[in-house]
Amino acid sequence: MRLTLVRTCRQGDSTTGVLFAGEEVMAHTLEPQWRNLRMERKVKGQTAIPEGIYQVVLTHSVRFGREMPRLLEVPGFRAILMHWGNTVADTEGCILVGRRGASGSLKDSHRTFDRLYQLLRRAAEINDPIWLIIQ
């Protein structure tokens, strides 16, 4: 399975985007501030992950107490998840999913996450590797 995250706006302390599963829009996304890591330093918990291709696996999260999508081998980052949340204050570098809300926020995040999770769970059950392309 291939997911594609197209970042659409880098503004202030947040980065927004659209997450596609194939051609279908699955969610809008919200991340911390995008930084050019070739030119700037990463700020822990306040930096969007770099563009690239990442494998996604479903693993147990102690923080959330359930299985969550985790991005593997993100350079310079640890424990990057895709999860619910409404504002950039709800993430420390992870990718939040939901529907576009007011400027720099998401809404219907839990419902959107559940829909995404079910799609990823079906892929995992048939051993279809999950890849996330971030552009």
The pLDDT score that the predictor gives to residue 127 is 97
pTM for the whole structure: 0.94
**CA-to-CA distance for 25 and 36, rounded, in angstroms?**
26
Counting as low any pLDDT under 50, the low residues of the chain are none
Of the CA atoms within 13 Å of residue 22, those in its CB half-sphere come to 5
The pLDDT score that the predictor gives to residue 70 is 98
The pLDDT score that the predictor gives to residue 69 is 98
Contact predicate 132/69, CB 8 Å = no
The pLDDT score that the predictor gives to residue 66 is 97
